[in-house]
Amino acid sequence: MTGAEIDFAGVFKALPGMVALLTPEMVFVDANEDYLSNSGRSREQLVGHYLFDVFPDRPGDPASTGMRNLEASLRRVVESGERDSMALQRYDVESLDRPGVWEERYWSPVNVPVLDENGAVVLVVHRVEEVTEFIRARGGLTRDNRTPLLEAELYTRARELQELNERLRRAHAHEREVAVALQDALLPSPEQVRTHHAAVRYRPATSSLNVCGDWYDLVALSGDRMAVAVGDVVGHGLSAACVMGQLRSALSAASRAADGPARALEVLGLYARSVEGAESATAVTAWIDWETRTITYSSAGHLPPALLRGDGRVEFLDGATDPPLGARPEHVDRPEAATGFASGDTLVLYTDGLVERRTEDIDVGLERLAAALTHHREAEPETLADALLSDLLPPGGVTDDTALVILPL
């Protein structure tokens, strides 16, 4: 049987356990038979309705936090594009037969995103396991013969776990803020180098787990020359930001002393071996000489720069690609290539967050970049930078940080 022959709607309805589909705005799209049966709601009472209109929080009960916790979990899934498993929750439900009467219920929820080809969250799978009867059946009774001991123990532990998770999330959010601030301080300001102005952009990832490994640099060389570079450090958070700063500074210094981009990357590669966390970092640097109208470049495992010609053609500078920094156990001279340019051409350097998508080949992303450059070829550098970010970054949020340099030639 092929996938096209499978009745996925029928499979969804027959799934064991309570499963519902929600929009990113938390509106019901569908629910399987177990969800309908255990919630006591019909499909008509769910589909098209806001989740918390159907299942509001119990009024007048300060201990009832189920709705707030569930809403926070769903928002994390929509914002991060990652699944979120919740601790045991007490989430009371109003009886349909007796309005105003609330039934004490316990649930174990898991929320999982459904992503489109651009990585945007289009649906959330909301799976719930009700454990109310299990808790009551297995728990003994306290002295007042009313509250099950196991129920109280599990609920207390679940609340403690929930509070711990919240503290960890706040700590991660704080680390992200510090890392982004450090990244901003370490990257050079987008001022012109002599008479040449480059448009630069840095966009941190939406998730705190993917931020602060990308960088760019612009260096004035002797004569009417400039070195432009971008790079990507494997890792995230403060550690990646610190490694990024070290590598950027080292390449900036090497470029001022080396006789070409390949030699500058060789020096950077040797330095990277002594920096913890710099393993497998990538970088590409291009040296532009306006007197000879030549771009000389070298790449350490990085995506190729794009050269937008005045007539709209796009050439990827992939003639001098080598492994990432520190990847070889022994020193080997890095390759170097050169190409000419004309007045009106534009050089574009970028990191993988601009073009890579988890569900497609990298060539598709490069073709998308080329098409966008051709489409916006008449735009000024600052406008072109904004247009590329708008056209190429996923609408649901950036899943990897992105650095972009646009230099008119």
Domain end among 186, 216, 250: 186
Helices 261-272, 237-257: inter-axial angle, 10-degree rounding: 140
Specify whether 109 is located in the same domain as 179.
no
Specify whether 291 is located in the same domain as 373.
yes
Specify whether 154 is located in the same domain as 229.
no
Does 1 reside within a domain? Answer: no
Does 307 reside within a domain? Answer: yes
DSSP string, 338-404: EEE--TT-EEEEE-GGGT--TTS-HHHHHHHHHHHHHHTTTS-HHHHHHHHHHHHS-TT--SS-EEE
Q: What is the DSSP letter of 17?
A: S
120 vs 316: CA distance, rounded Å:
28
Of 19-33, 112-126, 272-286, which has the strongest mean pLDDT? 19-33
Does 291 reside within a domain? Answer: yes
Specify whether 93 is located in the same domain as 112.
yes
Look at residue 383 in the predicted model and tell me its pLDDT.
94
Q: Report the candidate in 116, 107, 113, 109 with the shortest Cα–Cα distance to residue 75.
A: 113
How many Cβ atoms sit within 10 Å of the Cβ of residue 285? Answer: 30
Specify whether 151 is located in the same domain as 124.
no
Look at residue 226 in the predicted model and tell me its pLDDT.
93
Specify whether 62 is located in the same domain as 74.
yes
Look at residue 142 in the predicted model and tell me its pLDDT.
43
Does 16 reside within a domain? Answer: yes
Task: Return the H-helix or E-strand segment holding 199.
Answer: strand 199-203
Specify whether 298 is located in the same domain as 344.
yes
Q: The domain that contains 55 carries what CATH number? A: 3.30.450.20
Domain end among 151, 186, 221: 186
For the stretch 87-109, pLDDT in tens is 777 777 777 777 777 877 777 78
Q: The domain that contains 299 carries what CATH number? A: 3.60.40.10
Does 119 reside within a domain? Answer: yes
Does 112 reside within a domain? Answer: yes
Look at residue 208 in the predicted model and tell me its pLDDT.
47
Specify whether 333 is located in the same domain as 200.
yes
For the stretch 254-273, pLDDT in tens is 999 899 999 999 999 888 88
Higher pLDDT, 89 or 123: 123
138 vs 44: CA distance, rounded Å:
35
Does 404 reside within a domain? Answer: yes
Domain total for the chain?
3
Please measure the distance between the N-terminal and C-terminal CA atoms of the chain and give it in whole angstroms. Answer: 57
Its pTM stands at: 0.61
DSSP strand pairing (294-300 vs 321-322): parallel
**What residues form DSSP beta bridges with 404?**
201, 350
Does 3 reside within a domain? Answer: no
Domain end among 106, 121, 141: 141
* 194-202 mean pLDDT: 83
Q: Note down the domain range covering 165.
A: 143-186
Specify whether 121 is located in the same domain as 207.
no
